[in-house]
A and B are shown apart, each in its own frame.
Chain A
């Protein structure tokens, strides 16, 4: 069974940093492009970043470019999202999802709250 499990969410002050992790099981993560998608409370979905299977290529939404960094460790079957200079509008559930174009497997999400 494919399972993606996010962790690392929590409450952080504006301007702070947080690192999210996504651990995969039942799934050879190294074969897949991986993404982070977020959903603000009561709002729709927003794709924010992806990373190629080899980690050579990354892409970001303008809303997070320069503040967030995606990375991966295929040996640990994990993907990460380093978030810095956090703003109130970054408050959301953050999902990791597999796929190079569309998203077949999703984690359950981790909640990030940016508030003083």
Chain B
């Protein structure tokens, strides 16, 4: 199985900060990567797919980049609504696998 490793596990930041979350795949997944946001008690919400395509309705402060084994999710200016846990997911090879998540919390 392809292992997805996210870093950091927890990120403390202030409103207005630019934050970068990392996701590394254990093998080449080309651009087969999605990012999700999850808030406590809620289902995950798709933010980005194919590594860099913004899902409809998602604010443009979110962006994704990378290919192969290294990927990043950037929030250009952190908003109060963005404090949540973020997961990456690879869909290049079955079984689809998720990273362990990065929790973005208020500093």
Interface-facing stretch out of A14-22, A24-32, A76-84, A99-107: A99-107
With a cutoff of 8 Å between Cβ atoms, the chain A residues found around residue B43 in the complex are 95, 97, 106-109
Interfacial residues of chain A within 66-110, with CB under 8 A of chain B in the complex: 95, 97, 101-104, 106-109
Indicate if the CB atoms of A44 and B49 lie closer than 8 Å.
no
Indicate if the CB atoms of B95 and A62 lie closer than 8 Å.
yes
A-B interface contact total, Cβ < 8 Å: 54
Interfacial residues of chain B within 73-101, with CB under 8 A of chain A in the complex: 87, 89, 91, 94-101
Report the contact-size class of chain A (Cβ under 8 Å from the partner). 20 to 34
Which DSSP category, helix, strand, loop or mixed, fits chain B's interface?
loop
Indicate if the CB atoms of A47 and B95 lie closer than 8 Å.
yes
B55 near A: Cβ within 8 Å?
A: yes
> Given A45, A95, A103, A109, which contacts B46 in the complex, CB threshold below 8 Å?
A103
With a cutoff of 8 Å between Cβ atoms, the chain A residues found around residue B89 in the complex are 45, 47, 102-103
Indicate if the CB atoms of A44 and B101 lie closer than 8 Å.
yes
With a cutoff of 8 Å between Cβ atoms, the chain B residues found around residue A61 in the complex are 95
Interfacial residues of chain B within 32-58, with CB under 8 A of chain A in the complex: 32, 34, 36, 38, 42-46, 49, 55
Instruction: State A103–B46 Cα separation when bound (angstroms).
Output: 7
Indicate if the CB atoms of A45 and B87 lie closer than 8 Å.
yes
Q: What's the least CB distance linking B29 to chain A, in Å?
A: 11
With a cutoff of 8 Å between Cβ atoms, the chain A residues found around residue B97 in the complex are 47
Indicate if the CB atoms of B98 and A47 lie closer than 8 Å.
yes
Q: What's the least CB distance linking A92 to chain B, in Å?
A: 13
With a cutoff of 8 Å between Cβ atoms, the chain A residues found around residue B96 in the complex are 35, 47, 50, 101
Q: What's the least CB distance linking B50 to chain A, in Å?
A: 8
Chain B, residue nearest A107 (CB): B43
Where the two chains meet, the residues of A that have a C-beta atom closer than 8 Å to any C-beta of B are 35, 37, 44-47, 50, 59-62, 95, 97, 101-104, 106-109
Between-chain CB contacts (< 8 Å), 21 pairs? A44-B87, A44-B100, A44-B101, A45-B87, A46-B98, A47-B89, A47-B97, A59-B94, A59-B95, A62-B1, A101-B32, A101-B91, A101-B96, A102-B49, A102-B89, A102-B91, A103-B34, A103-B36, A103-B46, A103-B89, A106-B44
